[in-house]
Structure 1
Amino acid sequence: MSANQSSAQESTARQQAVTVLGLGPMGRALAGAFLAAGVRTTVWNRTPGREGDLAERGAVLAASAAEAVAASPVTIICLVNYDATDAVLRQDAVEAALKGRTLVNLSADVPERARDTGRWAEEHGVAYVDGAIMTPAGTIGSPDGVFLFSGPSTTYEEHRAVLDSLGGTHTHLGEEVSRAAAYDIALLDIFWTSMGGFVHALALADAEGISPRELAPFASGIARILPPLFDELSGDVEDGTYSGAINPLTSGVSTMAHVVHAAEAHAIDSGVMRAIEGMARRTVALGHGTDGFSRVAEVLRRR
């Protein structure tokens, strides 16, 4: 982005107003970024006293969710899940205040809940964009933040200047309102299974006399080989090739069994690795032993 474009974007953002519902760590970070960009920001939280220094920085504290929504053309809601957002939004006063305005939901939940909220918004005359934040609260307002959005592109573009004031990279994934949630769930799958594997590895290494800090640089080495493997496996699955020329499943299953055996010898729970080994053995039993690990994705999708 050029300096002129950035200046124009900031100027446009300063003419806008935004409401933030939810002042947990992420909500406060969102409101703080809007304030730093000069956007008039109204905030509200279900539990009073969570606003921190936002009022001192210029935020308007609303007495109710309906009052907060009525203060701005666009409302950002960021709560723990859609049960929480429903409890706030699906009240007569809030629905009336939202009518004719835009709601951007940055809470996390499953795709079906995003579709349900999209239907509710349409029924109540609310322009709706669903979104997901893929980076921690500390990245908000910096170049490191990553935001995903889905829903009507015209609505997204209408409020693009205000949303861009959150910093980072923003990707609109399409008109289908649940696509951001679908990406979020898939990416969280990678994150949490990876984190689970890492802490399991720390426990196993410790049982063998290797400290966490001793293992860490080698673990980072494993992490560096994953991105090209992700690209390769994604191509295999999309093209239906499932190549096992370098590392067939039969070989992979053997190494998985070694991890399970070593861990359980130290009485370490190996449920996650046993599940992965079980998926691989099932795939081998179906006649795919010479295929690569990517074949497991196809087997998991079978009805």
Structure 2
Amino acid sequence: MTHTSPAPPAHPSPVPAPVTVLGLGPMGQAMSRTLLGAGHPVTVWNRTPARAAELVAAGARLAHSPAGAVAASDLVLLSLTHYQAMYDVMGGATAALAGRTLVNLSSDTPTATRDAAAWAREHGAAFVTGGVMVPAPMIGSERSSVFYSGDEEAFRTHAATLAQIGRPRFLGTDPGRAQLMYQAHLDVFLTTLAGLAHATAMVGTAGIGAEDFLPDVLQLLGAVPDMIAPEGVAGLGRQIDEGEHPGDGSNVTMMGATADHIRETSEIVGIDTALPAAVQEHYHRAIADGGGADGWTRIIDGIRAPRRAA
């Protein structure tokens, strides 16, 4: 007779940790749905309770006060308009903060973020800043990513839960770093959108509709990385960090002339010139500072040291 040993007992999967979400705008709702889908018990609170109806139907628990919401979980996510809203919401709930981890995913300045971290510590809470780099419909997808900084131990403790929202990247213990990285990314995003809007208005003066224009210009955007970093983004970044601005392909003088033409065209066709004027000024400054033969990255020097009005 053949004897078989009993299979070793299976290790139970970790039970998903409870999470509280304060603020149920599009982002807060998306995070709550994603966490519920991953099996986390989710407690939610919002100034307008009706916004929680679909989440409650999906299994979330609606707290009737911020204090009750905070008390429900060790991990508290805030998705609010700005950091002042945190103080407004949490003003009557500070007694519940001790021992909790606040992860504030709201947008504000690095200074406001650092002040908030100090405020949280005064009330016994660990504080982590988060910057979500995708819109609400992409939360939890493979393309979702989030910058974090602040209390490293708290971040490591809750990293697996936070990874449900998006790929986490921890930038260090300064609470302002994640906010700064977040704002820098949005700087590129909003400036790009402004450029698209301005260019669409420009061609529209000749009867070229956005339906015809956008496919071509979006294809151009997709080619930008190869245009500005043909040998790789890392190499471009290294050159900028080392203060090298080779102008072999196109230089500041050439780019500045193009900036002049864009502004002049804007004036001729009668559209707003604020955006092209700002771009033009960057190139004029670099030329005036002796960088006409350098590459376009030379304009960073002037941006870093803006001229002050007398």
Higher RCO, Cα 8 Å, sep 6+: 1
CA distance in 2, matches of 1:171, 1:226: 25
Q: Residue 204 of structure 2: SS of its match in structure 1?
A: helix
- Counterpart position of 2:224: 226
Q: CA deviation at 1:255?
A: 0.8
* Paired AA for residue 55 in structure 2: L
- Counterpart position of 2:203: 205
Q: Is the 8 A contact 2:203 2:209 kept in 1?
A: yes
- Counterpart position of 1:254: 257
Q: CA deviation at 1:238?
A: 0.6
Q: CA deviation at 1:15?
A: 3.4
Deviations 1:161-195 (A, max 9, x none): 221222x3211111211111010111111001100
Deviations 1:97-133 (A, max 9, x none): 0111111101111111111111111221101111011
Q: CA deviation at 1:85?
A: 1.5
- Counterpart position of 1:100: 99
Aligned residues between the structures: 291
TM-score, normalising length from structure 2?
A: 0.89
Alignment of 1:8-27 (within 5 A): 11-12=13-14, 14-27=15-28
Q: CA deviation at 1:267?
A: 0.8
Q: CA deviation at 1:227?
A: 2.2
* Paired AA for residue 281 in structure 1: H
* Paired AA for residue 60 in structure 1: R
Q: Is the 8 A contact 2:36 2:42 kept in 1?
A: yes
CA distance in 1, matches of 2:209, 2:30: 35
Q: Residue 42 of structure 2: SS of its match in structure 1?
A: strand
Work out whether 1:74 is the aligned partner of 2:60: no
Q: Is the 8 A contact 1:233 1:294 kept in 2?
A: no
Q: Is the 8 A contact 1:237 1:298 kept in 2?
A: no
CA distance in 1, matches of 2:196, 2:106: 27
Q: Is the 8 A contact 2:74 2:101 kept in 1?
A: yes
CA distance in 2, matches of 1:225, 1:15: 42
CA distance in 1, matches of 2:288, 2:76: 52
Work out whether 1:241 is the aligned partner of 2:244: yes
* Paired AA for residue 221 in structure 2: A
CA distance in 1, matches of 2:38, 2:277: 49
Q: Is the 8 A contact 1:148 1:171 kept in 2?
A: yes
Q: CA 1:235–1:213 in 2, change beyond 3 Å: closer, same or farther?
A: farther
CA distance in 1, matches of 2:141, 2:188: 24
- Counterpart position of 1:112: 111
Question: What stretches of structure 1 of length at least 5 have no aligned partner?
Answer: 1-7
Alignment of 1:123-272 (within 5 A): 123-166=122-165, 168-228=166-226, 229=228, 231=233, 233-272=236-275
* Paired AA for residue 118 in structure 1: A
CA distance in 2, matches of 1:244, 1:31: 49
Q: CA deviation at 1:251?
A: 0.6
Identity of aligned residues (%): 37
Point out the structure with max Rg over C-alpha. Answer: 2
* Paired AA for residue 17 in structure 1: P
TM-score, normalising length from structure 1?
A: 0.91
* Paired AA for residue 204 in structure 1: M
Q: CA 1:247–1:290 in 2, change beyond 3 Å: closer, same or farther?
A: same
Q: CA deviation at 1:233?
A: 4.6
Work out whether 1:58 is the aligned partner of 2:44: no
- Counterpart position of 2:88: 87
Q: Residue 290 of structure 2: SS of its match in structure 1?
A: helix
Aligned residues: CA RMSD: 1.7
* Paired AA for residue 287 in structure 1: G
Q: Is the 8 A contact 1:21 1:44 kept in 2?
A: yes
Q: Is the 8 A contact 1:236 1:294 kept in 2?
A: no
Q: CA deviation at 1:160?
A: 1.5
CA distance in 2, matches of 1:24, 1:224: 31
Q: CA deviation at 1:260?
A: 1.2
